[in-house]
Amino acid sequence: MPTHPTAADLSRQLADHAEAVCRRYLSNGYRSGRFWCVGDVFNTQGASMYVRLTGPATGKGRRGKWADGATGEHGDLLDLIRLQSGGTVKEALAEARAFLSLPQPPEPERSRPLPEARDTTESARRMLRYGRPVVGTPAAAYLRSRGLEHAVGLPALRFHPRCLYRASRKHPGPDTWHPALLATVTDLSGAVTAVGRTWLAADGRGKADLPKPRRVLGHLLGHGVRFPGTVTDLMVAGEGVESVASVHRLMPTVPHVAALSAGHLGALILPPGLRHLYIARDADEAGERGAATLRRRAEAAGILVSDLIPREDDFNRDLCHLGPRDLALHLAPQLDPNDAVAHVRFEEAVAA
């Protein structure tokens, strides 16, 4: 081995100490047999991501490899350190050497670049091309059942009549096909990077009876599902499509973006020129952590940040239980008074 190990060398050494790496960087997870389970690369509680703790040093099933069943992202432990820290490859290499108690090189490392995970963006774009407008489909029935009639015509949402659902290692079984609501994930330029899939019952009256009826295909990190608005210096950001769309129903002139998970909410890339960010967070521990991470990043960029807190678990549950009028009355005191007057559609809420 050379005096200063390459990225590949460091990746192998991290894999040799996979459980120690997980206990350090994924401390909210737990060991389950040969795997370490956690919510995502940002150390959120849950079990959709798993890391192989044992296995061969190379080849299929090798130790140190991880995959996130919710997003489709995967990689090795060096990728994990880079994604969690939000740093560059060089910074991830330095962090890995520090963890392994290895000396730092006196000169910039000239090892080969860290290999990137397989890009599934084109698969997401191809799936969206198979999608069709929501109007008149089971997806429209589903949205209406959630109080989101206005979302039927939103361009970010599509319908897939027969979307493949693949069984997972944790939930084995045959592959099946179901109707699905597709949510288009884009970057700031509008380019498609991923697609969120919500598998539905045949009549649209609820989600399909599946172990995990929501998944993401493609590159989600930093991006989101965007609902349009006319103002340019305000934005509402939140987690789930239905929760964010519930706030958008009452504030349609303000752009909204759904990051699709609490961890990805914290990593959301914010647009230039943003003056005031409202974070419509979920009322749970993961939602608080994701909102706090996004708040720190936004405030460091000089952006004013305000939290919007639901009365129940999330804003869609509020909309379903309170109705649009009472949800508008719950939201208004949490907004800047000028924003409440200018952007909350009280008359539409009362009419509904």
Over 90: is that where the pLDDT of 166 sits? no
Residue whose entry in the numeric block shows the structure tokens 């934005």: 235
What percent of the chain shows pLDDT beyond 70?
Answer: 91
Please give the average per-residue pLDDT across 291-303, as a whole number: 94
Which two three-digit tokens encode residue 65?
Answer: 């490899």
Q: Residue 113 pLDDT more than 60?
A: no
> What percent of the chain clears pLDDT 90, i.e. is strictly above it?
66
Contact between 244 and 256 (Cβ < 8 Å): yes
Of residues 71 and 333, more confidently modeled:
333
> pLDDT digits over 11-55, tens only?
999 999 999 999 999 988 999 999 999 988 888 888 889 999 999
The stretch 152-174 carries a mean pLDDT of 87
Count H helices and E strands in the chain, helices first.
12, 14
Using 50, 70 and 90 to split pLDDT, how confident is the model at 64? Answer: very high
> Which band of pLDDT confidence, cut at 50, 70 and 90, is reported for residue 107?
low
Closest CA to 17 of 51, 49, 40: 51
Q: Which residues contact 41 (CB under 8 A, 6 or more apart)?
A: 49, 66, 68, 73, 80, 83, 84, 263
pLDDT at 348 over 60: no
Distance linking the first and last C-alpha atoms of the chain: 70
Q: What is the pLDDT of residue 85?
A: 63
Segment 136-163 shows an average pLDDT of: 95
The predicted structure's pLDDT at residue 234: 96
Q: What is the pLDDT of the chain when averaged over all its residues?
A: 89
Assess contact for 87 and 98: CB atoms under 8 A.
Answer: no
Q: Which of 334, 331, 337 is nearest to 349 (CA)?
A: 331
What is the per-residue pLDDT for 109? Answer: 46
